[in-house]
Amino acid sequence: MATITKRPGSGGKTVFRAEIRRKGYPKKIKTFALKRDAVKWARQIEREMDTGTWRDLKDADKYLLSDAFVRYLSSVSTKKRPTTQQRDKLSVKHLTKRLGHLSLVQATPAKVAVYRDERLKEVSPHSVRIELALLSNLFNIAKREWKVGNIDNPVSEIKKPKIPEGRCPILSNVQLARLMSECNNSKSEMLYPFIFMVLHTGCRLSELKQLRWSQVNINEGYISLIGKETKNHRRRNIPISEPLKKELLKLLEKVKTMDKHGQPTGLVFPGRDDPKKTLDVHKAFISAVKRAGLDNLPGEGRLRIHDLRHCCGSAMVMNGVDLETIRKLLGHRDISTTQRYLHVVDEHTKSAIDKISYLGLNNE
């Protein structure tokens, strides 16, 4: 049972001190102006202790989000891939700027919603969702693993920004040929084979930048992507087309590092100044896109490297490849992601129907 003690307070007023001592729990003491408030508080705490629902909010009251972010980066982010670690650091930078001064208790859904709305004025909905996902994960880990008080996840109670329909520009063969011609004329000799491989494999930029010769089996005709280096952490094999095989053989002639068995080693697309660093083709690609007249596509703006991955998926759909096969080749976790390419079927099927528009007509 709690002990309620009458004590002298400031200004000659009487206060009531409630003290709870319960085995297995820290001592709890709180002072009230009215005895009934002291009794009510004590009964509530004892009821929660009896039912096992009591949690000490003391830590959460003092635990600032800025400190929690530091701990998150050092204990959680470090277990992620380097690219994800960089993304986490950037998200934490923006979250700390506006929410870092709050404690874990003070970070209410209303305040997080204000953060969401302010950030939407500055960056895309996708970026805001990434930042909110980190904040949500932090609260879950703080409660589940760090054992910080009886805190609730404020992100779970607010509405997430809607993601607009993804980009999926369709390029004609003439446009693609013009692009590849400009890539071939680039000062960066690696730009053409790199972009050619994106078109012929549909691989993500990060997957090709990390690709090593030990993952390329030209004789068997496939590229093996390692699970931990793919977005969804799933291993997959990509067949090598004959045109791509020719480009890989050209690259192979330039490889200078071999293992003891005479097999090529190192990155397929090494950096220009350091073969151990990954290739950066962004500036060269932007220049090639501009020269090819693809820097202001209707409704899309400037063509991006990632758009060529979508071109690969769209081309497979138009040539009759089923969605499940495309999903596996592109490494989508869910078939709904692959279904974005279905919109090209409408134009493709219309073209097919136009070819048989003479049926049943008297054209004599």
Contacts of 76 (CB under 8 A, 6+ apart): 137, 138, 141
Give 205-254 as a DSSP string: HHHHHT-BGGGEETTTTEEEE-GGGSTTS--EEEEPPHHHHHHHHHHHTT
Give 326-359 as a DSSP string: HHHHHT-SSHHHHGGGGHHHHHHHHHHHHTTTTT
Which of 40, 80, 306, 333 is catalytic? The answer is 306
Active-site residue flag, 332: yes
Active-site residue flag, 355: no
Which of 63, 72, 192, 341 is catalytic? The answer is 341
**Strands 28-32 and 222-225, sheet pairing:** unpaired
Which of 94, 209, 310, 332 is catalytic? The answer is 332
Active-site residue flag, 72: no
Using CA atoms, how far apart are residues 111 and 120, in angstroms rounded to an integer? Answer: 14
Using CA atoms, how far apart are residues 89 and 73, in angstroms rounded to an integer? Answer: 7
The Cβ of residue 285 has, within 10 Å, a number of other Cβ atoms equal to: 23
Which of 200, 204, 236, 304 is catalytic? The answer is 204
Structure tokens at 43: 């009964």
Which of 143, 309, 310, 327 is catalytic? The answer is 309
Using CA atoms, how far apart are residues 246 and 359, in angstroms rounded to an integer? Answer: 44
Using CA atoms, how far apart are residues 324 and 316, in angstroms rounded to an integer? Answer: 11
Active-site residue flag, 327: no
Which of 21, 160, 228, 235 is catalytic? The answer is 228
Which residues are known catalytic residues?
204, 228, 306, 309, 332, 341
